[in-house]
A and B are shown apart, each in its own frame.
Chain A
Amino acid sequence: MPVMTSDAMARMMHCVAVAMFLLPSASYAQRVPEYELKAAFAYNFVLFTEWPADTVYEGGTLNICINPNSAMRPSLNSLQGKPAKGRKILIRALAVPDDIRSCHVLFIDSTDSERWLQIERHLRNASVLTISDEDGSPEGGIIELSSDGNRVVFDIDMKKARNARLVLSSKLLRLARAVQ
């Protein structure tokens, strides 16, 4: 899919540009409700996703991984211990991408740009639901969040989902802005 790849590349460039011009710390306070909303979305995505039967749940938890430096992290932390699909959610700050395969959900944002290639190598079709943010992610995830006015919307990449052997509920697909 060369079109998509170039599109993603363009978006990545755009994010990089924004990151360069905007101070993350300065914009943080103003973007908190958006992060909260996106965190809530992430939780809902978990509810509408089916992992393959051979998925390993170490310690019985459903792990959502995020870069320790991500601005989303505080908002995401509110999901800590919440029940989902009969398990408890564990938010893990992923410093090094080595044990990325123990993640069930991986949140990708601009802070991952540097180590993206590394992450991508580790992922390699692992059954990990990748959620990216249009606003600065180095690469689009299975689900990509974006803001439309003051609404949060999402797009779904079915090819990636299939590669990861994840099944996304048709109910979720129906709500997506676009499904590729």
Chain B
Amino acid sequence: MRKRPLSPPPRLGRWMELANLATAGAALLVASILLIVFQFLSLRNALLEDLHVQAKIIGENSAAALLFNDSRASTETLAVLAASSSIEAAGVFTPEGKLLASFRRDGVKPIAMPSSSLIEDTHRFGFNHVELARGIDFDGSTIGLVAVRASLDRLYTRLVGYAGLTLAVALGSLAVAYMLVARMRRVVKRTEAHLEYLAHIDSVTSLPNRHAFNERLSAALSRVDEFGGGTGLLLLDLDNFKIVNDTLGHHCGDLLLKLVAQRLLECLRGGHVLCRIGGDEFAIILESSTDIEGEGLAEKILVALSAPFDVDVHEIYVTASVGISIYPDDAADMETLTRHADNAMYQAKSKGKNAYEKFHPELNQRVQKRLSIENSLRKALERRELVLYYQPQVSLRDGRLVGMEALLRWNSPELGMVSPLEFIPVAEDSGLIVPIGRWVMHSACKQIAAWRDAGLGAVQVSVNLSARQTKDSHLMHDILSALRENDIPPSQLELEITETVLMENVHANVELLHRLQAAGIRLSIDDFGTGYSSMAYLKRFPIDQVKIDRTFVRDIPGNGDDEAITTAIIAMAHSLGLSVVAEGVETGQQLAFLRDAGCDIMQGYYFAEPRPPEQVTAFLKSRAALLEPAHAAR
């Protein structure tokens, strides 16, 4: 079902070809005729010139004979003309018109005394003959005249020969030119076809590319508009293709794409068109499909992709996220249709990947909300809507306060209290996280200084670093300037980086962590146990502390697996000389288990929830007052 390229229909092309040929032929014919006419004129002129020369010679040589009235001698002179094949007859006349001598070939009529008009014109062309008269001058006076008549037969014969040759050459060159043009046209046509192929086909998978996808989808939608029915659009994105490309190389990436395309094709039926529209993005157009068919196909695809792929020596597992939207149910135009399928696909991805999602209006609302969050967030910094809450971290051994974790809160006038789970990803995607992160850093440092200045001691504060911030080249400079401005020792600042962020770009992050550590800043791995919990990496990163993810803490005691993992993490961290923090501690049982397991620090509602700075300040003050006497007693 390939779309026909936009070129003139073949029949018209054929006619144009013939018209071109006819035009070239006509031009050649005109040129040939002009050449023949020119040739005729030049042959005639040459003949005339020749006759003039002959007549002049005859005249010169007849002068004496004329003077002495010697017709024998004059006849002898004229006899030479037998050698000039086109001359038929000639004569020498006295001024009185008396014929002194003549020459003529057999069977032609003798020459007559030229008429006075001919003498005046010197020559006259007839149809078959040319006549020429020329006076004979001697010693300053005209003593007679020569008349010559020549046949044009030879001229015509030569002209016909020339015309034949010219036309033959013209026809020959026309034929050669036609052949060349035809060959060129074939080459051009082939090249065009190839270009057309290249413009519409993805070279890796041999599937239609994005360009072709747009054309086909547009055509499919036009057909729906015309004949009714519906068209489904499936957008499919490979979830971890980037890792394959980065770790195994582009060659393997391409190979994998080819295999994925093959498996996808096996899932399709007639009326389905598979296109590759981006690096790891595929699209499937389902003509005249129903909802169910789209979702059924998506399921089928996810199952088909779940089997491992053999790429070179590697066995690769691929998952995909699929978004589905239907025309005209979900969208009224192609652009919206594609966008909705895209939104659905991202929804599937955010649901945890390897899933499909059918577009539904709430999805759009979610997207709308995300958009409004982004818009409000842009203004949040200026409007001072962002606040840092602090949650105490307490030593499990002696109940001592060891630090605070700074947690970002946003109270938006338009949206109310927005959860960090909602706005942090938006900030990440939009890049707003960088200025926000900078603000958090300065704000936290300022708070440390405020507590110090209020006589509440050196409180250590930990701040979370996002993935985007670790890639910000100004990060180091921002942190150091925040510390310097508030005159805070680096050891009072702790940075928390999630395991997942660290693993995204191990090499760059190892370097960053080394620089941070060299500056004296404490480093902690957040959400430990959720990602690639590689012991080898723990050893490589210059870290001081590990934070066990709250999901493990939630189910202890009672869940044997989580207990085992928690115990193992603590043991391992200790053996590497790292301290361990447990997050989300809410019950006394959890506390007891963690203490038994040897955990160093805990953080959670059991002890204190995150609070705004002024409450924390009050808490610190009351604690200071409590501890004061103890100190005094000691």
Q: Which of B59-67, B201-209, B232-240, B340-348 contacts A (4 or more CB under 8 A)?
A: B59-67
Beyond A44-B64, A171-B61, 6 additional contacts (C-beta under 8 Å) are A44-B67, A47-B139, A83-B140, A85-B139, A169-B64, A175-B70
Q: Which A residue sits closest to B61, measured CB to CB?
A: A171
Number of A residues near B (Cβ < 8 Å) is 12
Q: Which A residue sits closest to B60, measured CB to CB?
A: A171
Q: Which residues of A contact B65 (CB under 8 A)?
A: 175
Contact with B along A140-180 (1 / 0, CB 8 A): 00000000000000000000000000000101101100000
Q: Does A48 contact B (CB under 8 A)?
A: yes
Q: Does B537 contact A (CB under 8 A)?
A: no
Q: Does A116 contact B (CB under 8 A)?
A: no
B68 near A47 (CB under 8 angstroms)?
no
Q: Does A84 contact B (CB under 8 A)?
A: yes
Q: Does A41 contact B (CB under 8 A)?
A: yes
Interface residues of B in 477-515 (CB under 8 A from A): none
23 inter-chain pairs at a CB distance below 8 angstroms, sorted by A residue, are: A41-B68, A44-B64, A44-B67, A44-B68, A47-B67, A47-B138, A47-B139, A48-B64, A83-B140, A84-B139, A85-B139, A169-B64, A171-B61, A171-B63, A171-B64, A172-B64, A174-B64, A174-B73, A175-B64, A175-B65, A175-B68, A175-B70, A175-B73
Please, how many angstroms separate the alpha-carbon atoms of A84 and B67 in the complex?
Answer: 13
Please, how many angstroms separate the alpha-carbon atoms of A85 and B141 in the complex?
Answer: 11
Interface residues of A in 35-77 (CB under 8 A from B): 41, 44, 47-48
Interface residues of B (CB under 8 A from A): 61, 63-65, 67-68, 70, 73, 138-140
Q: Main secondary structure on chain B at its contact with chain A? A: helix
Q: Which residues of A contact B140 (CB under 8 A)?
A: 83
Q: Which residues of A contact B138 (CB under 8 A)?
A: 47
Q: Which A residue sits closest to B141, measured CB to CB?
A: A83
Q: Which residues of A contact B67 (CB under 8 A)?
A: 44, 47
Give min CB distance, A173 to chain B, whole Å.
9
Q: Which residues of B contact A44 (CB under 8 A)?
A: 64, 67-68
Contact with B along A14-33 (1 / 0, CB 8 A): 00000000000000000000
Q: Which of A47, A83, A85, A171 counts the most B-chain CB atoms under 10 A from its CB?
A: A171
Q: Which of A83, A84, A85, A174 counts the most B-chain CB atoms under 10 A from its CB?
A: A174
Q: Which residues of B contact A169 (CB under 8 A)?
A: 64
Tally of A-B Cβ pairs under 8 angstroms = 23
Please, how many angstroms separate the alpha-carbon atoms of A47 and B63 in the complex?
Answer: 11
Please, how many angstroms separate the alpha-carbon atoms of A175 and B139 in the complex?
Answer: 18
Q: Which A residue sits closest to B62, measured CB to CB?
A: A171
Please, how many angstroms separate the alpha-carbon atoms of A83 and B68 in the complex?
Answer: 18
Q: Which B residue sits closest to A170, measured CB to CB?
A: B64
Give min CB distance, A141 to chain B, whole Å.
17
Please, how many angstroms separate the alpha-carbon atoms of A51 and B61 in the complex?
Answer: 22
Q: Which B residue sits closest to A41, measured CB to CB?
A: B68
Interface residues of A in 89-108 (CB under 8 A from B): none
Give min CB distance, A176 to chain B, whole Å.
10
Give min CB distance, A80 to chain B, whole Å.
18
Q: Which A residue sits closest to B67, measured CB to CB?
A: A44
Please, how many angstroms separate the alpha-carbon atoms of A175 and B62 in the complex?
Answer: 10
Q: Which residues of B contact A47 (CB under 8 A)?
A: 67, 138-139
Give min CB distance, B193 to chain A, whole Å.
84
Please, how many angstroms separate the alpha-carbon atoms of A84 and B70 in the complex?
Answer: 21
Give min CB distance, B576 to chain A, whole Å.
135
Please, how many angstroms separate the alpha-carbon atoms of A84 and B138 in the complex?
Answer: 11
Please, how many angstroms separate the alpha-carbon atoms of A169 and B64 in the complex?
Answer: 9
Please, how many angstroms separate the alpha-carbon atoms of A169 and B67 in the complex?
Answer: 13
Q: Which residues of A contact B73 (CB under 8 A)?
A: 174-175
Q: Which A residue sits closest to B70, measured CB to CB?
A: A175
Please, how many angstroms separate the alpha-carbon atoms of A83 and B138 in the complex?
Answer: 12
Q: Which residues of A contact B63 (CB under 8 A)?
A: 171
Please, how many angstroms separate the alpha-carbon atoms of A41 and B64 in the complex?
Answer: 11
Please, how many angstroms separate the alpha-carbon atoms of A30 and B64 in the complex?
Answer: 28
Please, how many angstroms separate the alpha-carbon atoms of A44 and B73 in the complex?
Answer: 16
Please, how many angstroms separate the alpha-carbon atoms of A95 and B314 in the complex?
Answer: 146
Q: Which residues of A contact B139 (CB under 8 A)?
A: 47, 84-85
Q: Which residues of B contact A175 (CB under 8 A)?
A: 64-65, 68, 70, 73
Please, how many angstroms separate the alpha-carbon atoms of A44 and B139 in the complex?
Answer: 10
Q: Which of A41, A47, A48, A175 counts the most B-chain CB atoms under 10 A from its CB?
A: A175
